[in-house]
Amino acid sequence: MSQTTDNKRPLEVAQGVYQIELPTPFSVGPVNVYLIMGSELTLVDVGPYTPAAWDALVSGLELLGCQLGDVRQVVLTHHHVDHCGLLKKVKAASGALSFAHPLAVPYVEMDQTFMEHHNQFFYHLYRESGVPQKMMAVIEKFYQLMQTFCQPAGIDGLLKHDRPLPGLPEWQVLYTPGHSQSHLSLYRSSDQVLIGGDHILKRISSNAFIEPPRDPSQARALTLVQYRTALQMCADMDIELVLPGHGELVTNHRELISARLQRNWERTGVLRRLLQDGQKTAYELSALLFPDLYEKELALTLSETVGHIDLLTILHQVEREQRDGILYYSL
Ligand SMILES: [Zn+2]
């Protein structure tokens, strides 16, 4: 009990919205979860399944004069473990209902059939991208990460774009895919506040992770194209304040979005230059784009590379040729 005196009371970052910072073991640093004091006490995101995040969550609530038992509902911005890992534990301690986008469900529940499809999808994508066989083991890492930092949990209600948030009708659900296929943001028009998850971050440019389609017979989403569109949607909105999933509050969302879109464009320029001396695979391009990272962070760098190739492909600025199941790109 006495340890709570060492901690700072979570800040009220918007009217009735409190930011609780939780540690994560990931390079992104701490994650911000938000407590909305409204007709239904609502927690937006819960942090990773680690003892340190749990302790910080419990003590953050205590400092606000609440307990987990008071939380009536949990909303997930997306299914990544730094945001959803503690859901099962929070639900067990509070009896709260959980809400998320439908595409978060197979991840949060850790549906075995979906996880197998997930691995097959990446095996095919990596093979076609020219990833060497010895590096395919990285595919299994995703599930291992899920198992370590997330306990499978149930989702009680599904959220869709443009609907009011259950229990808190002043908040509107926005579907903001790209960083994740399940990504939601919450918008309160009365004071133009957006709880933005990892959609808009101040210091980090969010990766538009490639994900398998929910239905294996469908093609994958072009996640970077999607991300850019969802960013543009927010740039077209009046937003006074973004409450982000990581790092500092954002008060200049249009400037930030414009910089992100510009940076994508610069990167397509780099890819085009890299293709000037002949055709290359996505893996070869990722090694040239991210020489220090591509081996250590294959999933991230390949997503980033394939995403930018997608941009160039839909604009007919690159061509591709398939040989032995591997795609080669050229100008
Ligand atoms: Zn995150």
- By percentage, how much of the chain surpasses pLDDT 90? 89
How far apart, in whole angstroms, are the C-alpha atoms of residue 106 and residue 143?
Answer: 12
Span 14-60, pLDDT tens digits: 999 999 999 999 989 999 999 999 889 999 999 999 999 999 999 99
Ligand 1 centroid–CA 173 distance in Å is 18
Output the CA 82–ligand 1 centroid distance in Å. 6
CA–centroid distance, 280 to ligand 1, in Å, is: 32
Q: What is the DSSP string of 185-208?
A: EEEETTTTEEEEETTS-SSSPPP-
- pLDDT of 7 over the 80 cut: no
pLDDT tier, 286 (very low <50, low <70, confident <90, very high otherwise): very high
* Tens digit of each residue's pLDDT (9 = 90 or more) over 67-95: 999 999 999 999 999 999 999 999 999 99
**Separation of CA 34 and ligand 1 centre (Å):** 13
Centroid of ligand 1 to alpha carbon of 197 (angstroms): 7
Give the distance (Å) from ligand 1 centre to CA of residue 122: 21
Mean pLDDT of the chain: 94
76-109 exposure pattern, b = at least 16 Cβ within 10 A, e = fewer: bbbbbbbbbbbbbbbbebbebbbbbbebbbbbbe
Instruction: Tell the residue number behind the tokens 């239905």, with chain if given.
Output: 215
Average pLDDT over residues 261-283: 96
Kindly tell me if the per-residue pLDDT of 6 is higher than 70. no
CATH number of 2-263: 3.60.15.10
Enumerate the domain spans of the chain.
2-263
**CA–centroid distance, residue 200 to ligand 1 (Å):** 11
Dihedral pair phi/psi, residue 322, rounded to 5°: -105, 130
